[in-house]
Amino acid sequence: MAALVGQYYVLLRSVLRTKPLLRRCLVRCRHCRIFFLTHPCNGGRKDLGCPFGCRRAHRKQRSTVRSVAYYRDPIGKKKKQALNGKRAKPRSEGNRPTACPAGLESGSAGWNRLMLEYVRLLVSLIEARSVSRTEIVQMLQRVLRQHSLGRRRKIDHAVIWLQEHPP
């Protein structure tokens, strides 16, 4: 984990060196203190959570607190009963969009939506253009493919080396 953070910081530093303007987007997570880049309009804020887990964790916590407070009062209770009644009915047609390409939804192919958004923000900031999420997914798939190719090559080399130099 520490090695991963180290790698991330090396990358972040080199990005900031080549794009000094992005310094104003640099903020620190208020929970785990990690540095990350945010949208320029959030630059300088000290109350942000990082996209590596803190934001999601604390958002969940906040919404739990909110709904507990909400359902504790009598009006909220009635609403909840109505909601539960609605939920019990079988869903006729699927509300989920079917046009969503595979991998875009978190869970389906393991892409974390928040991370995807963060990568999209980073790429748009670095390349100074707006980038679609589809483009990011395609880019990530390409990078991951190359990565696994590289790893396979390394293993091949190791096997060849072992054949030439048996233990």
Considering the complex, state which of residue 50 and residue 137 has its C-beta at the smaller distance from Zn ion: 50
Smallest separation (angstroms) from Zn ion to the CB of 29: 3
27 belongs to the binding site for Zn ion (CB under 5 A): no
29 belongs to the binding site for Zn ion (CB under 5 A): yes
Residue in 136, 130, 102, 97 with CA at minimum distance from that of residue 116: 136
Q: What is the distance between the terminal CA atoms of the chain, rounded to a whole angstrom?
A: 32
50 belongs to the binding site for Zn ion (CB under 5 A): yes
Considering the complex, state which of residue 112 and residue 131 has its C-beta at the smaller distance from Zn ion: 112
**What is the pattern of x (binds Zn ion, CB under 5 A) and - over residues 140-159?**
--------------------
Considering the complex, state which of residue 27 and residue 136 has its C-beta at the smaller distance from Zn ion: 27
56 belongs to the binding site for Zn ion (CB under 5 A): no
Smallest separation (angstroms) from Zn ion to the CB of 52: 6
Element (H, E) at 26: strand 26-28
54 belongs to the binding site for Zn ion (CB under 5 A): yes
Contact indicator for 116, 5 with CB cutoff of 8 Å: no
32 belongs to the binding site for Zn ion (CB under 5 A): yes
Compute how many other C-beta atoms are within 10 angstroms of the C-beta atom of residue 31.
Answer: 14
- Residue among 19, 31, 56, 133 that touches Zn ion (CB under 5 A): 31
Helix (H, G, I), strand (E, B) or coil at 5: helix
Residue in 106, 108, 126 with CA at minimum distance from that of residue 116: 106
CA 70 to CA 77: how far, in whole Å?
A: 8
Give the binding site for Zn ion (CB under 5 A).
Answer: 29, 31-32, 50, 54
